[in-house]
Amino acid sequence: MARLATKRSKRVRLVCMGGIAASACGGEAGFSGPPEGGGNDLRPGLTVHVGIPPAAGSIASTLGWSGGVPGAEVRIHRFETDFSWTTVVTDENGFANFPTSISGRYRVAAFRPFTASERQVTGSDILALGAGDFREVGVQTQVDLVPGVTSPHGLVISEIYATAPSPAEVQYDFHMFFEVYNNSDRVLFLDGVLFGTMQGIPQWSGTAPCAESEPFRSDPGGVWAHFLHEFPGSGSEHPIGPGEVRLVALDAIDHSTIDARFPDLSGADFELFGPGDVDNPDAANVGEVGLEPYFSGHGLRYFISHTLFLAAPRDVTSFETGILQAFGEEFVRVPAAAILDVISTLEDDALEDQRMEWCDEFVHPSFDQLGGGFIKHQTDLGLSVQRLVVDASGQRILQDTNTSAVDLIKAPYTPGWIP
Amino acid sequence: MSALAGVVWPLPCDGQVSSGATIGGRVIETETGAGLAGVVVSLEGFDLAALTDEEGRYRLTDVPTGRHVLRAQRIGFAVARVPITVPADGALTRDIELSVSALRMDEITVTADAVSRAEGELGTASVIEREAIEHLTATSLAGVLQLVPGVATQAPGLDDLEQVALRSVPTGSSLFATSSDAGVSRTSADLSAFGTLIVLDGVPLSNNANLQSLGPRGGDDGQLLNFVTSANGGVDLRRLPAATIERVEVIRGIPSVRYGDLTHGAIIVETRAAPVAPIAEAKLDERTVETSLVGGRTLGGPGNTATLTFDYARTQVEPGASDDASSRFAGQLAHRLELGHRANDAGLRRPRFSLDTRFDVFRLVDDRPENPNVRPDRSLRSRDLGIRLSERARLWLGEDSRLSFTGSISRVEQESRSRAPKVSGVQPFTSATTEGRNEGFYIGGFYTAEVELDGTPWLGFGRLEWEDRTAWLGADHELIAGIELRREWNDGAGFQFDPQFPPSIGFDGVSGYDRPRTFDEIPAVANSAIYVGDRVRANAGDWPLTVQAGVRLDVLHDGESWLSGSRDAVVQPRVSAELSPSRRLRLRGGWGRTAKTPALGDLYPPPQYFDLVNVNFFANDPVERLAVLTTFIRDPTNPDLGLSTGTKLDVGFEWDLGDGTIALTAFRDRVAGAVGIASVPDFITRDAFALTDSITGNGIKPEIILPAISTDSVPILVDRPDQILDQVNRGLELTAALPRIDPLATQVYVTGSWIETETTSDARFFGSSSAFSSFQRSQTQTRAPYWEGFTERGESMLLLYRLIHHQPDLGLVATLTVQHNAVDRVEDVVAVDTLSFAGYVTRGGELIAVPPERRGDPEFADLRVSRTGRVLARQGARPDWMAHLQVSKSLPLDGQLRVWVFNFADRRGREFEADRIGRLYPPVRFGAEVTFPSARFFDR
C-alpha cells in the first residue's frame, strides 16, 4: 500500500512515495486530486480523500466512481485530545472534510462496505474497503488514503479477549482467549500454524527512541517476534472448515469458578501451553517455539495492545534473527510470505496517557495499515475485540482490509462463535 | 560531653625521644572573660593533655610540629576545637574560649576537619564533633556522615534503609539497572556497606547474623517480600540517632590492628555520656518529628556518674497520601565508675580502675499499613527491637601500662510481616518438604498470601587488650596487644507461611520455591582474633615521624565455639606512617590488609527445592484431576566459604595554608573473595508416566502406571554462595578549608571525591531464567551456552562546597551547602556478542569449555546467541547541583534554634534519557530544631 505524505497547501496534491506503482496514485505519477474546475475546495481543517484501489478498479467503473470512493465512513482521532473517533462520510468524489480539526498527530481511517445490491451488480467478491494511516497534520491538510479490500480468504484472527478487573497489581488475566476463523470457502488445517506477537518491540518512545525500533516495526519483509506458539499436528490432524471457528484459550479451564465475571473456557479447542501451566487433556496444546518461554509459564499473555499474527507453518529455526540494541533483546523475522493475518490493537488506557509518544506505525502497512480495537484493559470486562462481520447472508465473512482500525470492533465477548 | 576526660595519658617524663614545642595559654569563659579551672586541654589524636589551674592556665610540652587541633573540654561547656600550627620547637601561646553555647565561641567546627585525628589511629580519617552534628540537624548517623568526602547530602528522615559505603560508588542502586544474574544477587553498595565496621562505644555492631531476606530465590515477584531490610549489607544506620552522638570518627584509610571484621573502613561512634543537666531537643519538619533528651548526674562522687539518653523520631513517608510511616526509639543508660583516683604530674586525676557500663535499647519500625482505597488487602511491617549490654573495664597497671576488657551481648528481635493479594494461573503444586514423588494439588486464582519472617540475631563479643607506653631505641612506643572473641547466631522463628497460599509463584514446572524454615536450626558462627601493634614516634633526621604498624590474625572457626578448628584464617599486616618535613606540610601513607567474615545467611543458606511435574491432568471434572510432582532438594551450603580480604593503600598530604588547610589523599582499596551467589549446574531426573485412564468425563480419577515409560535428565542450577566477587575502589579525596574571608565572617570548606569502583563477578551465566527454563523443558535440546564473568564499573565525582558564615557575637552560624554531582557513570564491561559464550552445559549438568578460536565453528552454531540481561553502556548522568541552607542561632537561656532548607531551589535533577542514566533529587524540604539545655536551672 502506498504510504503518502502530508500536504500543507490549499492545492490538492497527491505525492507518491518512491517505489509505489503509479496506478496506486490514481494512474499518474505526481499530481492527482479533485478534477479541474470542480470537486471540493479545501476548507479550513483536515480533509481526507479516499482513493480507489487498483483491486477495486472494475467495481469503481461499474458503479460510476471516478474521483474517489463515495459513501465511505472516514474516522479521525487526534492523539492527546480525542479519545473517540469523529466520523464523516465521503462525498461523491471521495472527500470528507473535518472543518474544525486542528494540527496534531492523527489516526485516520476509512471504511466502505459494499451493499448486497452493489455486489450483485459488480459480480465481485470484494466485500468492503478499508484504509488507515497515522499522520502528523497541520491545518488545511489533506490526507489521502488508498484502501485495502476484503474478499474471503484464509485464516484470520476473529476475536481476542484480554481484559481484567482492577486493581491492576493483582489482575487475573489467565482467562484470555483468541479465535481463529476460516474466512475462506475451503477446508484449511491448523497443523503447524504459528501464532505470535510483536510484544517487546516498543510502540512508543518512552523506553527507546522510535528510530531504534523502526527497522523492526517498518519492515516490509516480515513481522518480528520474540514469542511464538505453534499449533500441534503433523499436517492434517486439525482441520477447520469454511466458516468454522476454533477457540484458543490461554488456560482451557472454567475461569468463572475463580470469578463469576470470567468466561468458562473449559471447552476450548486449544490452549496455549507453557512450562508452569495447567493442562486440560481435552484441549490440544499450542506449544511455545519462540526464543524463550513467556514469563509466568502459561504461554503468551497480554494480547491487548500488541500486534498479533498468524503465519503458515515454517521451520522457526530458519528465521532470520536480529537484536534490538536498546534492550539487547533478540527477535526472529517471520517472513512476509508466511504471514496469514495481522491485527494490531491498542488499549484506551495507553492512548489516554498523554506522556506517551507513539511511534508512527506498529507494523509495516502492508500487513496492517492502522491499529485499532480500543479496549480499556481493566474496565471493559466482558468486552472483546472482534472482527467485523460484513456478510452474514450465508457463511459469515469477516472484514479483513488489513486495517485493524476499521476491521475490528469492541463488543461483548463470544468465545467459540461468531455473532 | 565525652566521658574521655581524665583518661588521657601524658608523655613519659623521662627518656625524651622526640623534641617538640611548648603550647600554653588561658582558657576563659566567653561571656565573662574569667579564667576557667578544671578544663582538660588535649592535643587531638595524641595522648597529650593538661588541666587548667585556678586562673585557667594550661601548658603542654613536647608537642610535635605540624598542624594539630587543640581540644578543650569541661562538663557544662561546649567542647572547643582550636586548630594550631606548631613549630618544631619553642613556645606557642594559644588562648581558648569556652561557652555553654558553641555558637558563641570564636572557633566552631561544623564540618569534618581536614586534619582530623581519630584517637589512637594514624589512618586517614574524618572526625565529626558534637557541634557539627548539631548544625547538620541529621536524624541518624547516616546524615552525619555527609561531611565525609564521597558521601552525598540527604534530607533528614527515617523513610528508607540507611547504609554507608566508604570509598565506593554504589553501582546497583537506582542509578543502575542490574541484570538478574545470579552472579551478583546483591548490589555492590551492599558489599561496601557490609564491609564497613560500625563501632558503638568501643563495641562493634554487626549485621552478620541478619537473616531478614531469603537469598536469591526466596523473594517472589517483588510484591510481597520487599521488606525494608539491610540483610547482606551493612548495619541499618537509622538505629543510631544523631541527637545522642557525641563524636564520630570515620577511618577511611588503614585502621589499626584493633579493628577487624571489615574491608572498607571503620566508623567509631561515641555516644553522649556525661553528668550534665538535661538537654532537650525537638525537631520538626513536614515529614519528621523528633525529640531527644540527654542528661546525667554524679552519684555520690565524681567517679560515679550516670547518663540517660533518649530519642524518639517518626517520619511520615507520604504525608497526606498514605499512612506509611517509619519510627525509631533509642535509649541508653550509661554508668561510669572510677576507683583509686590519683593526680599525675599534669594535674589530671586518673583512676586506677574504671568501668563503663552501657545498656542500649532501640526499636525501629517501618509500617506500611493497608490503604483500602488504593491497595486493598496489602500491608507491610518490619520491626527491629534491639538491646545491648556492654562493659568496658580498664585497669592501670602502672603509669604507662593498662589492661582493658571490653565485652558485650546484644540481641535484636527482627519481625517482618507482609500481606498481599496474589494472583496465580492455575498450576500443579506441592508442599512436600522431603525428597520424593507425591501427589500434588492445583492452586490458582486470587488469594491473600501472608508471610512472617522472624529473626533474632545475637552477638557476643569480648576483647582483652594490653597497652603499654615505653621509650626504646630512641623512640616513643605505644604498644598494644589483644585477643578478641566473637560469636553470632540467629534463633528466630524464621520464615513461615501457609504453603497452600505461597508467596512465590514464579513456577516453571522445575524450579520450586523456598519452603518455611526456622532459624534456630542454623549453627552459630565463631570468630577469634589476636593482634599486636606499635605506634612509634621518632625523628627521621629533623622531621618528626610517626609510624603505626601491627599485625592481626582473624580466624573463622569451623564450628560454633572458639575451640573448634579453623575454617579460615587471614594474617593482616598493617602500617601507617606520617612524616612532617615542615610545620606546614605533613605526608602520610599506609598499607594494610583486612578481613571480613561472611554473613550467617551465606554460610548456612536455605535448602533449594525443585518440584518437577510428572503428571498434569486438569480434567474439567475436579474428581478426575491428577497432579504428580517429584521434589528434589539440593543443599547449596559451601563448606569452603571463608573470609574475604581487603587490601588498602593510601597516600596523601596535608598542607597548612596559614589560615586554611588542604588535604588530598589518593587511595586504592581492593576486596577479594567477597561472597556472591554462583549458579552451579546439576541435574535431576524426570519420569514420564502413563495413566490408567486418560478419558475424561467418566468420573474416574486416573493413576500413574509404574514403572515410568521414560526418564530424562533435567538440568538445574543450584544457587550457591561463593567467593566470586572482587571489588577495586580507587580515587582521590579532597578536604580543604580555604582562608577565612574576614570582612564577610565566612569561610569556605570543600570536600570532594573522585571514585571509580569496579566489581567483578566470576560467576557463570546460563542465559535468562526463561531461556534456561526452555532448555530444561526441552525434549530435544542437548546443551545450552554459558558465559563467564562480568564487571560492573561505576565512577563518581562529588564535590561539596560549604560556605560557613559565623558571627560569634550573635551566636549565629549559617551554612550554604552546594552539592555538585560532576560525574555519575555506570556501565557493564562484558562481551555480549554471539561469540562471547565460554562453553556449554549438558543436560547432565556437565560444563564443557569451548576455546575462543573454535567458537565460530559450525558445530557450535546453536550456542552462538547473544548474552542478554546486561545493561548496554550509556553515557553518565549529566552534571548537576543542588543547594541547602542551614542556620543555627543561639537563644536566650543557652538554647539554640536551627532551621534548614534542603534543596531550596527545588532542583529536580536529570531524568533518564535513552542514552543517559538519570539522577533525580529529592524535593525541597525544610524544618526546624530547638535545643534547651537546663543547666542554668541546676547547679553546674
Contacts of A325 in chain B (CB under 8 A): 872
Query: What CATH architecture does domain A22-149 belong to?
Result: Sandwich (2.60)
Residue B432: pLDDT band with limits 50, 70, 90: very high
- Is B97 found in the same domain as B142? no
* Range name among A321-325, B241-245, B802-806 with the lowest pLDDT average: A321-325
> What is the model's pLDDT at position A43?
44
Using the predicted structure, report yes or no on whether residue A21 has a pLDDT greater than 60.
no
CA distances from A34 to A41, A56, A68, A112, B249 (A): 9, 19, 9, 20, 85
Q: The C-alpha cell of B114 is what?
A: 581536614
B507 in contact with A at a CB cutoff of 8 Å? yes
CA separation for the pair A83, A98 (Å, rounded): 16
Residue B225: pLDDT band with limits 50, 70, 90: low
Least CB–CB distance from A167: residue in B375, B617, B872: B375
Average pLDDT over residues B364-388: 89
Of B52, B87, B108, the domain-final residue = B108
Question: Are A296 and B223 a contacting pair at CB < 8 A?
Answer: no
* Sequence-ordered strand ranges (E) for B473-584: 475-490, 494-496, 525-540, 543-557, 566-582
pTM recorded for the entire structure: 0.83
CA distances from B745 to B29, B117, B806 (A): 22, 26, 6
Residue B376: strand, helix, or coil: coil
Burial of A294 (C-beta count, 10 Å sphere; 0-12/13-18/19+): buried
Residue A303: pLDDT band with limits 50, 70, 90: low
Of all residues in chain B, the percent with pLDDT exceeding 90 is 54
Taking the CA of residue B263 as centre, how many other CA atoms within 13 Å lie in the half-sphere pointing to its CB? 33
- Is B320 found in the same domain as B280? yes
B518 in contact with A at a CB cutoff of 8 Å? no
Decide if A48 contacts A98 (C-beta within 8 A). yes
- Which residues partner with B536 through β-bridges? B477, B547
Q: The C-alpha cell of B807 is what?
A: 558571627
> What is the model's pLDDT at position B206?
94
For the stretch A98-156, pLDDT in tens is 877 777 778 888 988 888 888 888 888 788 888 888 777 776 677 777 777 777 679 99
B622 in contact with A at a CB cutoff of 8 Å? no
- Is B84 found in the same domain as B136? no
Taking the CA of residue A163 as centre, how many other CA atoms within 13 Å lie in the half-sphere pointing to its CB? 27
CA separation for the pair A5, A14 (Å, rounded): 8
The answer, yes or no, to whether the previous bond of B170 is cis (omega within 30 of 0) is no
Residue A351: strand, helix, or coil: helix
What's the domain range around B491?
109-937
Average pLDDT over residues B546-571: 95
Question: Are B510 and A169 a contacting pair at CB < 8 A?
Answer: no
The identity of residue B699, as a single letter, is: G
Q: H or E element: which one contains B603?
A: helix B600-603
Q: The C-alpha cell of B379 is what?
A: 500491608
Of all residues in chain A, the percent with pLDDT exceeding 70 is 79
CA distances from B749 to A373, B803, B805 (A): 62, 6, 11
* Range name among B25-34, B38-47, B464-473, B522-531 with the lowest pLDDT average: B38-47
**Torsion (CA) B619, B621, B623, B629 in degrees, nearest 10:** 20
The residue among B116, B113, B105, B123 whose CA lies nearest residue B43 is: B116
- Is B126 found in the same domain as B102? no
Q: Which residues contact A64 (CB under 8 A, 6 or more apart)?
A: none
Residue with cell 568496658: B392
Nearest CA in chain B to A268: B620
Decide if B134 contacts B931 (C-beta within 8 A). yes
- Is B503 found in the same domain as B406? yes
Best mutation target, A277, A302, A327, to test chain B (most B CBs within 10 A): A277
Nearest CA-CA distance, residue A60 and chain B, Å:
49
- Is B253 found in the same domain as B359? yes
CA separation for the pair B34, B443 (Å, rounded): 82
> What is the model's pLDDT at position A167?
54
Q: The C-alpha cell of A175 is what?
A: 482467562
Q: Is A330 left (phi over 0), alpha (psi -120 to 50) or beta?
A: beta
- Is B263 found in the same domain as B365? yes
Decide if B722 contacts B676 (C-beta within 8 A). yes
Question: Are B868 and A328 a contacting pair at CB < 8 A?
Answer: yes
Looking at residue B560, which CATH number applies to its domain? 2.40.170.20
Residue B101: pLDDT band with limits 50, 70, 90: confident
> What is the model's pLDDT at position B114?
64
Contacts of A357 in chain B (CB under 8 A): none
CA separation for the pair B92, B94 (Å, rounded): 6
> What is the model's pLDDT at position B877?
87
Split into its structural domains, chain B has a count of 2
Average pLDDT over residues A244-255: 95
Pairing of strands A372-375, A339-347: parallel
CA separation for the pair A262, A413 (Å, rounded): 11
Contacts of B867 in chain A (CB under 8 A): 328
Average pLDDT over residues B240-260: 94
Least CB–CB distance from B870: residue in A170, A278, A328: A328
Using the predicted structure, report yes or no on whether residue B462 has a pLDDT greater than 60.
yes
Residue A27: pLDDT band with limits 50, 70, 90: very low
Decide if A51 contacts A96 (C-beta within 8 A). no
- Is B94 found in the same domain as B119? no
- Is B181 found in the same domain as B75? no
Compute φ and ψ for A389, nearest 5 degrees: -90, 120
- Which residues partner with A345 through β-bridges? A372
Question: Are B768 and A292 a contacting pair at CB < 8 A?
Answer: yes
Residue B935: pLDDT band with limits 50, 70, 90: confident
Using the predicted structure, report yes or no on whether residue B187 has a pLDDT greater than 80.
no
> What is the model's pLDDT at position B575?
97
> What is the model's pLDDT at position B45?
73
Question: Are A282 and B696 a contacting pair at CB < 8 A?
Answer: yes
B618 in contact with A at a CB cutoff of 8 Å? yes
Average pLDDT over residues B822-845: 89
- Is B146 found in the same domain as B63? no
Q: The C-alpha cell of B923 is what?
A: 524535593
The residue among B488, B492, B489, B497 whose CA lies nearest residue B518 is: B492
> What is the model's pLDDT at position B543?
85
- Is B46 found in the same domain as B16? yes
Using the predicted structure, report yes or no on whether residue A212 has a pLDDT greater than 90.
no
> What is the model's pLDDT at position A348?
60
Q: Which residue has the higher pLDDT, A81 or B644?
A: B644
CA separation for the pair B661, B686 (Å, rounded): 71
Nearest CA-CA distance, residue B506 and chain A, Å:
6
CA separation for the pair B84, B62 (Å, rounded): 15
CA separation for the pair B480, B121 (Å, rounded): 12
Residues of A with CB under 8 A from a CB of B: 167, 169-172, 174, 205, 208-209, 212, 250-251, 253-254, 257-259, 266, 274-282, 288, 291-298, 323, 325-326, 328-330
- Is B504 found in the same domain as B526? yes
- Which residues partner with B718 through β-bridges? B680
Q: How far is CA B250 from the centre of its chain?
A: 12
The identity of residue A171, as a single letter, is: Q
The residue among B444, B441, B424, B779 whose CA lies nearest residue B615 is: B441
Nearest CA-CA distance, residue B830 and chain A, Å:
13
Question: Are A330 and B865 a contacting pair at CB < 8 A?
Answer: yes
> What is the model's pLDDT at position B2?
32
Residue with cell 569480648: B462
The identity of residue A320, as a single letter, is: E
Nearest CA in chain B to A289: B774
Contacts of A172 in chain B (CB under 8 A): 423, 445-446
Least CB–CB distance from A330: residue in B425, B620, B866: B866
Q: Which residue has the higher pLDDT, B24 or A358?
A: B24
CA separation for the pair B304, B936 (Å, rounded): 22
Nearest CA-CA distance, residue A292 and chain B, Å:
5
Question: Are A172 and B620 a contacting pair at CB < 8 A?
Answer: no
Best mutation target, A265, A280, A301, A321, to test chain B (most B CBs within 10 A): A280
CA separation for the pair B615, B433 (Å, rounded): 19
Nearest CA in chain B to A208: B914
The identity of residue B588, as a single letter, is: R
Domain boundaries, chain A: 22-149, 155-412
Contacts of B865 in chain A (CB under 8 A): 330
Q: The C-alpha cell of B261 is what?
A: 571484621
Of B108, B126, B153, the domain-final residue = B108
Burial of A46 (C-beta count, 10 Å sphere; 0-12/13-18/19+): buried
Contacts of A169 in chain B (CB under 8 A): 223, 375, 421
> What is the model's pLDDT at position A113?
87
Residue B7: pLDDT band with limits 50, 70, 90: very low
For the stretch A160-184, pLDDT in tens is 998 776 555 567 889 999 999 999 9
For the stretch B884-911, pLDDT in tens is 999 999 988 888 999 999 999 999 998 8
Rg (CA), chain A: 21
Q: Among residues 829-848 of chain B, which lie with CB inside 8 Å of chain A? A: 832
- Which residues partner with B888 through β-bridges? B813, B898
Decide if B677 contacts B215 (C-beta within 8 A). yes
Nearest CA-CA distance, residue A156 and chain B, Å:
28
Indicate whether this complex's ipTM tops 0.85: no
Q: Among residues 689-708 of chain B, which lie with CB inside 8 Å of chain A? A: 694, 696
Q: H or E element: which one contains B142?
A: helix B141-144
Looking at residue B93, which CATH number applies to its domain? 2.60.40.1120
